[in-house]
Amino acid sequence: MKRIYLFTFFQVLGILFLQAQETDTTDLKVLLDEMVVSATGFSSSKREVAQIVQIIGSKQMAWQNAPTSADVLQNTGNILVQRSQGGGGSPIIRGFEANKVLIHIDGVRLNNAIFRGGHLQNVLRIDNSILEKLEILYGPASVRYGSDALGGVMHFTTKSPETNTTGGSAFFRYSSATAEKTAHADINLGGKSFASLSSFTFSDFGDILQGSVRKSAYPDFGKRLIYAGRENNKDVVLSNPNPDSQVGTAYSQYDFLQKFRFEPSPFISHTLNFQYSNSSDVPRYDRLSEIGTNRLPRFAEWYYGPEERLMLSYNLSDSRPGRFFNNTNLVAAYQNARESRHSRRFGNDLIKRQFEDVRVASLEVSGIKNIRRHEVVLGAEAYLNWVGSTAYFMDILTGAQSPSDTRYPRNGSTMNSFALYGQDKIKLSDQWIANAGFRFNFIALDADFGEDAFFPFPYRSASQRNQALSGALGLVYLPHDRTRAAVSLSTGFRAPNVDDLGKVFETVPGMLIVPNPDIRPEHTANAELNLLQWMGKAIKWQAAGFYTHLTNAIVLEPFRFNDRDSVEYDGIISRVMASQNNRRAFITGFNTSLDVFLAPTWILRSTLTYTRGRILEEAGSRPLDHIPPIFGQVSLRYGAPKFQAEAWWVFNGTKDIKDYLLNAEDNERYATSDGMPAWNTLNLRVGYSFNDQLDLQLACENVLDTNYRIFASGVSSPGRNFRITLRSNFQAHNRRAADSVF
C-alpha cells in the first residue's frame, strides 16, 4: 500500500511538473525572505534559519476554515493529529507527541508540569479564530525552548491591537457531520498611542457522524451499536438507532481574549494580554466505547470536567537607539490550568472524581544585538509550577462522599525551571550563514505523597535536581535566490515532570501506571539536512531528512511496586507499569513538499511525510510508539479576486499491527486486528466575496463518505461533512476596508 501511494503521488506530480509554465504569480524574493520569530524570539529571515519553519497566516487559516487549532495543524499536511474524543486533538511531529512537542503562545510556553506522555488535547484550548499566524518549527529546539521541544515547536501568535484603527470582524459557521455551530466576533479600538482588541468565540459540537463506506474486510469497524444510559436510577444498555453516530463525542467551548497595547513612542511597546478558555464536560469517547467480557459497556460515565485555561501576560518591547541591545523583550506571565476526570463503571453507583489545579508563574528577558557579521541573542527565563491534586468518590444516589486516590501526589508538587541561553547567527559570506547556540537548564522537582491509604508507597516524598546543557550548530548555503540548503546538528533533552514521576492511572483495563521517583531526563542527538529549490518562478520543491537518537528514552514498561508485579485497583487485579528510561531508541524519516504554479490563478500543492522509530535492544529492536504511517495530501486551488475554489486529497498509509508498540499509547485496541487500515478522502471548498465586508464559504469534506480512523485514535473521523460559513469585516476609519479571506 505504501508503494502504491508513493507511486501515485510522484506520478501525478511528475506530469504536472512537466506541464507547468513559468509565471509571474509569485514574488520569489518575498517568499524566500518571510520573517519568523519562532527560531530566536526575534524577527529573523526564514531563509537564514537552519531548520524548516512553516508559516500559516490568518488569511490562510480563514480560507481553510478549520473548527479547532488541532484541525489547523492537521491541515498542514506535515502533522498527524491523534484523537481520543470529540474534544481532543494531539499533534504528532516527527514521531514525537504530547509532552515531547512544545506549545508556545504569545511568548509563553503552555507545557506545564502535568503534560502527559500519552495524548493531549491542550492545543484545543487555543482559539484559532483570533490567531495572526502559526509558525511550526520542525525538529528539536531545546536551545531556544528548553525541555519538551524534542519533535518541534508550535508557535501561536494572536492578533495584536492596532493603533489608529477602529474595526472588527465576525463569522458564523455550521458543519453537518459534527452539528458544529460556531460564532465569533472581535473588535479593535485604536487611538494614536493606545489600542484595545477584544475577541469572543463560542463553539458547540454534537456527536460525530462517521463515514458509512467501510472496507469490506472490516464491515463493522467503528460502529457504535450500544451505549450506556440511565433509567430508574439504574444503568441500562441502549441500542443506537444509527451506529454511525458516535454517541458521547459532543462538547462545547468558549474563548475570550482581551489585549491592550500602549505605544508611548515608536520604540517602546507595552502589551497586556488576557486569555481565558473553558469547555463543557468532554466525554472520553474511547473509554465509553469499550465493551467488557460480559458484553456490557465497561463504563457508564467517563468524562473530563470543564477544562479551563487562563493566562495573563505582560510584554515589554524596547528598541530605543543607543542602548546595548538593538531590541529587548520582557515577558511576565501567570497561568492557571484546571482539569478533572470523572469515571464510573457500569452498574456501580460510585463515581470517582479527580481534580488537578496547576498554577504557573514565568519571567523571560531576552535581547538581540547586531555586531558586524554577528546577530547575537541572549536570554534568561524562569518557570515556576505548582500542582494540586484532589479526589473523592461520590455515591450518585445519595451524594455521600468518601476518600479516593489522587492522580498526582496528594500533598502537592512543584516543578521549577531556570535557564540561560544564547544564539548567534554569523554571516560568513553572501552565500554562507552559520547558526550556533547553547542553553543551560536547571530543573527542580519536588513531590509530597504524604500518607496514602490507597497505596502504601515505600516513600513519603521524591525530589529531583536535573541539569542539562544543550547545543546546536547549523550551516545555511544560499548560492542564489532560488536555492537554499541547510544542515544542522543539535542536542536536546526533556526532564521528567510531575506526570512522569508521580502519576497513578489506569491506562488500559488491567494495567496500572504507578510513580517512579528514580526516572531521569531523556536526551537526544539530532541531525537534519533540508533543501529548497525554486525552478523558475513556477515550481518550489522542499525536502528534509532527519535522524534523532534517544538515550534514556522514557517509555512505559512493566514495573515492580512494593516488590509485586500486580496490585488490586478499583476491584481489578492490574499489572503494574511505570515510566522508565532504560532504553535507547531512534527516529528517522523525511518530509517533502512541492508547489506548482500552473497559471496566474492555479496552484498545485502537495506534501508527503514518512517516519520510522525503533527501540534498540541487545537482541535487536522493536517498535517505538507515536510513529505514524506514511501520510500526506495534494491540493489544487483556483484563486480570483472574488471567487476561490480548492479540491484536496488527504491520504494515510497502513499501520500494521506488527509496527505498534503494544499495550502503550498506540492504542491497538481501538484499531482492527490487523492494525489501522490505509485511508484517503476527497474534499472540496469554494468561497465568494460579495464585497469588502461580506464573504461566503461552502465546503464538502470527505465527499465519498469514507469511514476512517487516524492512527492511535479511539474515535472515528467525520464522514461526509457539509460546512457553511458567513464572514463579515468592517473598518470605521483610518484604514482601508478589510481584506476578504480570499
Count of the separate structural domains present in the chain: 1
SS3 category, 176: coil
Give per-residue pLDDT as tens, 419-473: 999 999 999 999 999 999 999 999 999 999 887 767 777 778 889 999 999 999 9
Task: Report the pLDDT value the prediction gives residue 15, as an integer from 0 to 100.
Answer: 42
User: Residue 332 is part of which domain span?
Assistant: 2-733
pTM, two decimals, is 0.93
Within a domain: 549: yes
Within a domain: 739: no
Task: Report the pLDDT value the prediction gives residue 536, as an integer from 0 to 100.
Answer: 81
Mean pLDDT of all residues belonging to the chain:
91
Task: Report the pLDDT value the prediction gives residue 196, as an integer from 0 to 100.
Answer: 98
Within a domain: 650: yes
Within a domain: 464: yes
Residue 383's pLDDT band, with cuts at 50, 70 and 90, is very high
Within a domain: 738: no
Q: 665 and 625 in contact (C-beta within 8 Å)?
A: yes
Please state, in angstroms and rounded to a whole number, the distance separating the CA atoms of residues 507 and 284. 13
- Return the H-helix or E-strand segment holding 498: helix 498-502
Task: Report the pLDDT value the prediction gives residue 673, as an integer from 0 to 100.
Answer: 94
Please give the share of the chain, as a percent, with pLDDT higher than 90.
77
Residue 487's pLDDT band, with cuts at 50, 70 and 90, is very high
In the chain, the largest separation of any two C-alpha atoms, in whole Å, equals 79
290, pLDDT greater than 80:
yes
587, pLDDT greater than 90:
yes
Residue 220's pLDDT band, with cuts at 50, 70 and 90, is very high
Q: 351 and 378 in contact (C-beta within 8 Å)?
A: no
Within a domain: 394: yes
* Residue carrying the nine cell digits 481489578: 572
Residue 216, classified by CB atoms within 10 Å of its CB into exposed (0-12), middle (13-18) or buried (19+), is exposed
Task: Report the pLDDT value the prediction gives residue 734, as an integer from 0 to 100.
Answer: 54
Q: 103 and 124 in contact (C-beta within 8 Å)?
A: no
Within a domain: 131: yes
Give per-residue pLDDT as tens, 48-76: 999 999 999 999 999 999 999 999 999 99
Residue 480 in grid coordinates: 542564489
Give per-residue pLDDT as tens, 85-115: 999 999 999 999 999 999 999 999 999 999 9
535, pLDDT greater than 50:
yes
Please state, in angstroms and rounded to a whole number, the distance separating the CA atoms of residues 121 and 112. 13
Q: What average pLDDT score do residues 571-594 get? A: 86
Least confident of 32-41, 340-349, 654-663: 32-41
Per DSSP (E only), the strands in 44-89 are 44-45, 53-57, 80-82
31, pLDDT greater than 50:
yes
Burial 103-138, CB ≥16 within 10 A → b, else e: bbbbbbbbbbbbbbbbbbbbbbbbbbbbbebbbbbb
CATH of the domain at 348: 2.40.170.20
Please state, in angstroms and rounded to a whole number, the distance separating the CA atoms of residues 154 and 115. 15
Within a domain: 740: no
Task: Report the pLDDT value the prediction gives residue 506, as an integer from 0 to 100.
Answer: 72
